[in-house]
Amino acid sequence: MQRQKIYLRMKDPKEAREILFRGFSPEPIVEAEEIPVHESPGRMTAEPVFAKVSSPSYHSAAMDGIAVLAEDTYGATERNPRRLRIGREAIWINTGQVMPEEKNAVIMAEKLNQIDDETIEILSSAFPWQNVRKVGEDFVATELLFPQNHRIRAFDLGTLIGGGAFRLKVRRRPRVLIIPTGSELVHFTTLSDPFHLKAGEVIESNSSVLSSLIRECGADPIVEDIVEDKSDKIMEALVRAVESGADLVMIIAGSSAGRKDYTAQVIEDIGELLVHGVTIMPGKPTIIGSVKGKPVMGIPGYPVSAYIAFNEVVRPFLYRLQGSVMPEKQLVRVAVSRDIPSKLGAEEFIRVTMGRVGERVVAIPLPRGAGSVTTLSKAEGIIRIPSFSEGIVADEETDAELLVDPEDLANTIVIIGSHDITLDILRDEIRKEGRGIRVASGNVGSLGGLLALKKGTAHMAGSHLLDTGTGEYNVSFIQKYLKGVPVQVFNLATREQGLIIQKGNSKGIKGIGDLTRDDVTFVNRQPGSGTRILLDYKLEEMRMDPSHINGYENEEYTHMNVAVAILNGVADVGLGIMAAARALDLDFIPVVREQYDLVVPSSFVDDPKITLLLDVLRSEEFRKRVKGLGGYDPAKSGSLWKVI
């Protein structure tokens, strides 16, 4: 029976890099290859490049006008103009044309007075080589254009081609061979459209992501076929890889400590295991090994872990192989929108969306799951929490690594509060306007959104808080929690809230009264959310004890997460919106039609970004798309109904 493995060689990121560099002493690759000049941007010259021709290769006019012999113009002034014969002492010429023989200057057309078809008058004399580009003015044949180890830029092509360097010797790029492993993996190129995955199958995407990252570093990726989760198959692929001439081998997945994670053992069997485990989250199961003198990296299979492991260990190694310095990370000071707890002992990488609110940049944490690839595609920054820290508290300032242009932060609308599916449609419709405006949202519940406005960390809050005493939405809560903050309240939509249940309703659930049944499992929303307040109000109204509900403490932060929990059988029922049930083909029992509003501080209402958002809310296209979700009435979307 195969034993469960454990991490025996855990290293912090800095120590892991030092072990990699010390073990392989990466020197810049000196091997050269010859390529066409138009393929050279981004490549490093392997030898000095000299001009084969001069530029320009002939004397040419730098201006439109007349070509003259400077000596023929001496003495000309405004009081004593000189007349020249066209075709003899003065020859018409255009910019770039070859200078006529025995002419050595050009007088600009603006400085001339044509008397007739044969005579031109000049009001000042010219000096030799005035307005003339002489042979070799830019560079002369045999002159050094670029030294070796120069990274060629796009605008260097003009110099190279102009100097006759049509083919160049450049340093060979580092070659990185990628071995994806996993019996459950299928390559997307083998799938037809529409496609249907079998239970347990996963589309392999890590090799494509890593290949793109490798190219960003100036190296060449080589992707092998997917290898089954069998130690002998992985060993065969690894032996072929290290003998292929690659400079680095990366094995994707199988690097953890599970019973079917063979990478570490395979490396140890045929080489040396240098590091198994790096104190980063995500990315802990990173491996560094040596096989036949070649560096071998074990990269975790979860997409986010793979990205972090690559950036922390592989990227600096590839730059070292090219004799380059890794570009500096661009940092921005941010205030986090909510608490970010962290465990001691590992450096954690938190993906965030960001936007500028007033004078501060606000960072909204994304879900932490290492397998959640959308937390990378949505990320606009990464916050590092050191291994000795227990996290960051809400509103605390820290540094974030920028993943977008700094200008994007000023063009972002930050919405914090209750989750609603229509915000995704709103985001898409705003982007369709093509003005570069983006929307960053954080799901912290309606009450959390109001508190964010109070702290100045959002442009607006999404809220559907029911005042159980008056039956009115949001107003009393705004008056209580936003004292001293003038706001305007705009309607987003009214929507159906109800019980989301499994397709077919095998448990026979009919209403909230069934939640206390022993055979029913519930999934709840977090405290402070409008949905949670609605549920507690209904329970109190029906005199039901929450402690008798199986799963009352099981909380999710979005309606879609509630629906997913029910779809996956984690729960039988949850309170949420009809659109979430409809999106996942689940059944729905209506409970109440509620009002969802956007609360905007009055100081932001005239901001062009907010004006655009309100215009989109009122548009027919937005309302049509929202209505199509099911359970929504967008008739008053974008209408102002309260000034508080």
Report the SS3 class of residue 130.
coil
- Residue 206 identity (one-letter amino acid): N
Helices (H), 414-567: 422-432, 446-455, 475-481, 530-541, 559-567
Dist CA 591 CA 3 (whole Å): 52
- Of 297-306, 367-376, 438-447, the range with the lowest mean pLDDT is 367-376
Task: Give yes or no: residues 160 and 111 share one domain.
Answer: no
Dist CA 597 CA 417 (whole Å): 10
Task: Give yes or no: residues 240 and 368 share one domain.
Answer: no
pLDDT at residue number 192: 82
Examine residue 225 and state whether it is found in any structural domain, yes or no: yes
Other Cβ atoms closer than 10 A to 626: 25
Examine residue 379 and state whether it is found in any structural domain, yes or no: yes
Mean of pLDDT values over 470-478 = 90
- Domains contained in the chain, number: 5
Task: Give yes or no: residues 633 and 573 share one domain.
Answer: yes
Dist CA 215 CA 218 (whole Å): 5
Task: Give yes or no: residues 186 and 42 share one domain.
Answer: no
Report the CATH number at residue 261: 3.40.980.10
Task: Give yes or no: residues 265 and 348 share one domain.
Answer: no
Report the SS3 class of residue 225.
coil
Q: How far is CA 17 from CA 176, 261, 294, 312, 384, in A?
A: 17, 23, 15, 8, 18
Report the CATH number at residue 380: 2.40.340.10
Q: Is the omega angle on the peptide bond into residue 128 within 30 degrees of 0, that is, cis? A: no
- Of 148-152, 322-326, 447-451, 638-642, the range with the lowest mean pLDDT is 322-326
Q: Is 583 left (phi over 0), alpha (psi -120 to 50) or beta?
A: alpha
Examine residue 536 and state whether it is found in any structural domain, yes or no: yes
pLDDT at residue number 1: 36
Task: Give yes or no: residues 143 and 272 share one domain.
Answer: no
pLDDT band at 195 (very low <50, low <70, confident <90, very high): confident
Share of the chain above pLDDT 90, in %: 70
Task: Give yes or no: residues 195 and 286 share one domain.
Answer: yes
- Of 31-40, 174-183, 257-266, 362-371, the range with the lowest mean pLDDT is 257-266
- Of 48-62, 165-179, 183-197, the range with the lowest mean pLDDT is 183-197
Task: Give yes or no: residues 354 and 230 share one domain.
Answer: no
Assess whether pLDDT exceeds 70 at residue 154: yes
pLDDT digit string (tens) for 403-455? 999 989 999 999 999 888 899 999 999 988 777 899 998 888 899 999 999 99
Task: Give yes or no: residues 235 and 317 share one domain.
Answer: yes
pLDDT at residue number 435: 79
Range of the domain at 158: 32-55+137-171
Round the average pLDDT of the chain to a whole number and report it.
91
Examine residue 127 and state whether it is found in any structural domain, yes or no: yes
Task: Give yes or no: residues 628 and 483 share one domain.
Answer: yes
Copy the structure tokens of residue 619: 């548009």
Assess whether pLDDT exceeds 80 at residue 529: yes
Report the CATH number at residue 542: 3.40.190.10
Per-residue 3-state assignment (H helix, E strand, C coil) for 166-204 = CEEEEECCCEEEEEEECCCEEEHHHCCCCCCCCCCCEEE
Examine residue 533 and state whether it is found in any structural domain, yes or no: yes
Q: Which of these, 307, 434, 442, lies nearest to 370 by C-alpha position? A: 307
User: Is 137 in contact with 48 (CB distance < 8 Å)?
Assistant: no
pLDDT at residue number 174: 95
pLDDT at residue number 443: 84
Assess whether pLDDT exceeds 50 at residue 3: no
pLDDT digit string (tens) for 578-592? 999 999 999 999 999
User: Is 559 in contact with 419 (CB distance < 8 Å)?
Assistant: yes
Report the SS3 class of residue 419.
coil
pLDDT at residue number 344: 87
Mean of pLDDT values over 121-131 = 92
Mean of pLDDT values over 190-198 = 80
Domain boundary, last residue among 84, 109, 133: 133
Task: Give yes or no: residues 356 and 213 share one domain.
Answer: no
Report the CATH number at residue 162: 3.90.105.10
> 0.75 cut: is pTM over it?
yes
Which residues share a beta bridge with 363?
Answer: 336, 354
Domain boundary, last residue among 108, 133, 158: 133
pLDDT digit string (tens) for 227-285? 998 999 999 999 999 999 999 999 998 756 556 678 999 999 999 999 999 999 999 99
User: Is 174 in contact with 322 (CB distance < 8 Å)?
Assistant: yes
Mean of pLDDT values over 594-611 = 94
User: Is 128 in contact with 104 (CB distance < 8 Å)?
Assistant: yes
The angle that helices 620-627 and 608-618 make with each other, rounded to 10 degrees, is 60
Strands 185-187, 287-291: parallel, antiparallel or unpaired by DSSP? unpaired
Other Cβ atoms closer than 10 A to 116: 7
pLDDT at residue number 261: 75
Examine residue 439 and state whether it is found in any structural domain, yes or no: yes
Dist CA 317 CA 213 (whole Å): 13
User: Is 311 in contact with 327 (CB distance < 8 Å)?
Assistant: no
Examine residue 498 and state whether it is found in any structural domain, yes or no: yes
- Residue 322 identity (one-letter amino acid): Q
Assess whether pLDDT exceeds 50 at residue 520: yes
Task: Give yes or no: residues 89 and 204 share one domain.
Answer: no
Dist CA 383 CA 112 (whole Å): 66
The dihedral built from the CA positions of residue 128, 132, 138 and 142, taken in this order, carries a sign that is negative
Other Cβ atoms closer than 10 A to 253: 29
Domain boundary, last residue among 402, 421, 445: 402
Examine residue 4 and state whether it is found in any structural domain, yes or no: no
pLDDT band at 138 (very low <50, low <70, confident <90, very high): confident
Which residues share a beta bridge with 249?
Answer: 177, 296
